[in-house]
Structure 1
Amino acid sequence: MANVITALKAEIARIARREIRQVVVPLHKPVVATRHAVADLKRRVADLEKENQRLAALLSKVPEPAPAEEPVKAKGWISGKGILSLRRKLGLSQEAFAQLVEVSPNAVYQWEHKSGMLRLRAKTRTAVMAVRELGAREAKAKLSEQAGAGKAKPASKTKH
């Protein structure tokens, strides 16, 4: 009777293995492909982390740029009366003020005699707004610096 029981157990085990194999074998190829994909992704992540560390080290060697000066606001009202009072506050002649904002003296004259708000080009507006921030001493120092550096505007061309 023991032989029958062992034979029965062996047959049940054999059939169970066959059934399991029928279920597992179709899954073998996708599982292997997934393992390969995971291994490849791990390699790529490792490479990217290595590259990231290299770039971080390179970035730490690059000096941090100095904070830029706060740009002068180009917005604000500029009127002829305001130009005149600014020029007088700074104690400058029309020619000196013109040199400071890099325009012609005639432009300063025209601005001062215009009523209402002035419509200036962006570069000129920025220069006037920057001069607004200066005091009399600073303006004269800047003028002498410009004269020393040869930044004075060349004389206008005249017909001969």
Structure 2
Amino acid sequence: MTARSACGGSLRPTLALGLVALAAGTGNALGSLLGAWLRPRGPELTVTAMLLLAGCATTAAALWYGTVTVLAVAGAAGLAASLGKLSLDALIQRDVPESVRTSAFARSETALQLSWVAGGAVGILLPLNGALGLSVAAAVLGTVLLWTLRSLLRVGVRPRPAAARVA
């Protein structure tokens, strides 16, 4: 595999991998910083926005595969992972009864870890083709986004009252 096929440009593979790791780490750090600021807006909205952001970045990278779009996907993935985890924790803290909250946290952590394993397995099983892999990822993200929107509309999520936001 050449550097050109690894990241869509003429970068050496180790430099390209380093840039992708830097973009993902930067997105993750930015997500941690934005978490406190976005908390009053409700975790449902944050999760939906992060799915949309990651889906758009992944779709763009699948269509225009190159160094810049792959870095955008890595940054969006880091940001979405960080804010998604914070939002999931907030939902569990808010909506799950205290008697089963510990179990819910353990189950959510297990599901997140299994998702990482499943994503890695898909990456290993697909042929080494960046555009194909990103197309599969975009399709999965689009499906999850539609499922999330359908679920939100079905349960009728409404913004919390101002008094509940402060707590």
Q: TM-score, normalised by structure 1?
A: 0.26
The structure with the greater share of residues assigned to helix is 2
State the structure with bigger RCO (CA 8 A, min sep 6), 1 or 2: 2
Q: TM-score, normalised by structure 2?
A: 0.25
